[in-house]
Amino acid sequence: MAEDTSNHLVYWMQLDLVHKDYLAQIRHWDNLKIAADEQSIWVKDFTTSQLESIVLKSIPFTHLYYCKDNLLFPKSSLLPVGKQPAFLWTPIERALPVTLQGFNHNFFGIQQQQALRLAPIEEEQKVTVLLATVQDAGNYILNAPSIRLQQLKWIFINNKDALIIGEPVLPVNGRSYWQKGRFIFPVGYAFEFTVLEKIAAQQIDSTGTHLIWWIDEASYCLLHPDVLQPLSIASWRQTISNSPHKI
């Protein structure tokens, strides 16, 4: 069982991405969590014994910091180097190793399993996207004041669902999503390793023109912004009435 760290300062270790393979030495410390930016890998939640271990000290090119009052301090220093960065953290055993395979670029109804998957994350996200059935969404939209819909856009999907993007999110039942850049993720999920966002975006859509909607943790589709239309009672009625299927 890992040592309780609740009464200690939280220590972070920083390592340049080019040296990430050295982390294999501590992958078995399952209490650790990992995050990344474009240049570095960050590791946190070390116990006291892990901080003093020969295994950790043998990893080259590392920098140790501790967090206090939302500031980041070099280990053994009283002068902060800056604000504590905000990351999406994932358990170390899930983040390492990471493999990135090819993708299938179908538009809707994707069910293929991908080597690159999403993983549960601890941080809360702001819901800005809703997937709801046409019946549930329509019951609200057709009786809503127009000002309530002004900031929203939507698309009719598979003749049965509506994907609605924007705030404030409609108060109807549905599946909630959050947006980060061009990615739309299910709430509670993100990439296992955040550094993969830039790589994945390039491989999935090299044009950089589409939204990448992860329907669930293992499947996605591409949405061009031009397919989204402003949400209004008129656009809703017209789209639904033109559907080849009775709603």
70 plus 123 within the same structural domain: no
Please say which residue of 80, 95, 110 terminates a domain: 95
174 plus 78 within the same structural domain: no
Structural domain count, the chain: 2
Please say which residue of 95, 129, 144 terminates a domain: 95
DSSP assignments along 120-183, one per residue: E-SS-----EEEEEHHHHHHHHTTS-HHHHTT-EEEEETTTEEEEESSSPPSSSSEEEEEETTE
Q: Residues 187-211, buried b or exposed e (16+ Cβ, 10 A)? A: bbbbbbbbbbbeebbeebbeeeebb
Range of the domain at 206: 118-241
Tens-digit pLDDT profile for the chain (247 aa)? 444 443 468 899 998 888 887 787 787 788 899 888 888 899 999 988 888 887 788 788 889 999 988 889 998 888 888 888 888 888 887 776 544 334 333 344 433 334 567 888 877 788 999 999 999 999 999 999 999 999 999 998 877 899 999 999 999 999 999 999 999 999 888 887 776 788 788 888 888 889 999 988 778 888 888 889 999 999 999 888 876 544 4
142 plus 88 within the same structural domain: no
